[in-house]
Copies of this chain bind each other. A is one copy, B any other.
Amino acid sequence: MTTEPRLPVAVDAMGGDHAPGEIVAGAIRARDELGVPVVLVGRPDELGDTGGLDVIAASEVIAMDADPAKSVRTMKDSSLVRAAEAVRDGKASAMVSAGNTGATMASALLRIKRLPGVGRPAIATPIPCPGADVPTVLLDAGANAECTPEWLVQFAQMGSVYARQRYGIETPRVGLLSIGEEPTKGTPLVKETHALLAAGEWAAAVGGTFVGNVEGRDVMSPDVDVVVTDGFTGNVVLKTLEGGMKALVKAILATFDTDDSTRAAGDALIPALLPLYAQLDPDNTGGALLLGLNGPCIISHGSSSATAVVNAVKVAVEMVDGDLCGAIGAAIRPA
């Protein structure tokens, strides 16, 4: 904990399917419930009652489906770009957005910049493991469709530092996503990365341990703490799980509605099912983190509610207080 006055977390008030209403409500709740300073970024006259929160004015809004690179290049007064600039300029400690994911990445990368030595930032997404205490950290979940072995090794380092700081795992178990346990399985990218991770030098300044290749079935298991993959595969995995879980839960809930007997049984089960539902609810994970930059950037899912914003601000503050970026910088470039 710092004894200096805390910098606020910059919240992009215009980003997300339920912006600005839910986002502003979440920002106010974050300040009140967590006791931390929050600053909104957006169009002042569209934010409604901000509960006395400071506002950084930004006149433009990057749409959810806009081209990320082009938007960030041309919309210099957008809420996303201004939020990233607030972090760059020392006016905010971290940024949170539920807006256009690609534009969030581009804004943060261009304005907050990479830590020295980091090849590419990566999106680290917590994957809940039903029944387990902590999620698995999947990275890269979509920042870089194409990767080099060296970047994947850095993802192992950044993911290990993150898993320790966020989930208290002293020696994170890092797995490399492949299509078989044997080092000979997979693409050339995976095989080369396997050799580098198995050599072990990456772990010297990090404290993680390489458990070898893991498969898709291990992503939602408690047997591995960090799953490293390229951003194409990681994004497909993330969305496959989202879609699969949603389809299965929907089908199960439909069986509850078969007849009076099953409806009564369903009602009786709801209290027991709620903790599981809460564990799988993306509003409760605190969002994904863009790792490898000079300041924490939290990427919340597009449908974020006020609760999701509260949890995202909470994670942002924890990462600032624990100096996640400093720890990642030290791991990537050991003194």
> Taking beta carbons and an 8 Å cutoff, which residues of A are in contact with B?
129-131, 142, 145-146, 177-179, 185-188, 190, 215-221, 231-233, 235-252, 254-256, 258-259, 261-262, 264-266, 268-269, 272-273, 276, 280
Contact = CB atoms under 8 A, between A and B. Distances in A.
Contact of A232 (B218, B233, B238): B233
Nearest to A274: B255
Contacts of A280: 248
Contacts of A131: 247, 250-251, 254
A169 to B, nearest CB: 19
Contacts of A269: 255-256, 262, 265-266, 269
Contact of A240 (B188, B237, B252): B237
A142 B243 contact: no
A165 B273 CA distance: 41
A266 B255 CA distance: 12
A44 to B, nearest CB: 32
Contact of A239 (B145, B217, B232, B250): B217
B244 A241 contact: yes
A217 B240 contact: yes
28 contacts: A130-B250, A130-B251, A145-B179, A145-B186, A145-B187, A146-B188, A179-B232, A179-B239, A186-B232, A187-B232, A190-B232, A216-B238, A216-B239, A216-B241, A217-B246, A219-B240, A233-B233, A236-B237, A237-B237, A240-B240, A240-B244, A244-B244, A252-B276, A255-B276, A256-B272, A262-B269, A266-B269, A269-B269
Given A145-B186, A235-B216, A255-B276, A240 B241 contact: yes
Contacts of A272: 255-256, 258-259, 262
Nearest to A243: B217
This chain: how many copies in the complex?
A: 2
Contacts of A178: 232
A214 to B, nearest CB: 10
The A interface is mostly helix, strand or loop, or mixed, namely: helix
B179 A235 contact: yes
A264 B255 contact: no
A230 to B, nearest CB: 9
A272 B179 CA distance: 35
Contact of A129 (B239, B247, B264): B247
A240 B179 CA distance: 11
Contact of A268 (B215, B219, B265): B265
A11 to B, nearest CB: 25
B245 A130 contact: no
B242 A216 contact: yes
A3 to B, nearest CB: 43
Given A179-B235, A265-B268, A248 B245 contact: yes
A188 B261 CA distance: 53
A246 B245 CA distance: 10
Contacts of A217: 239-240, 242-243, 246
Contacts of A129: 247
Contacts of A248: 130, 245, 248-249, 280
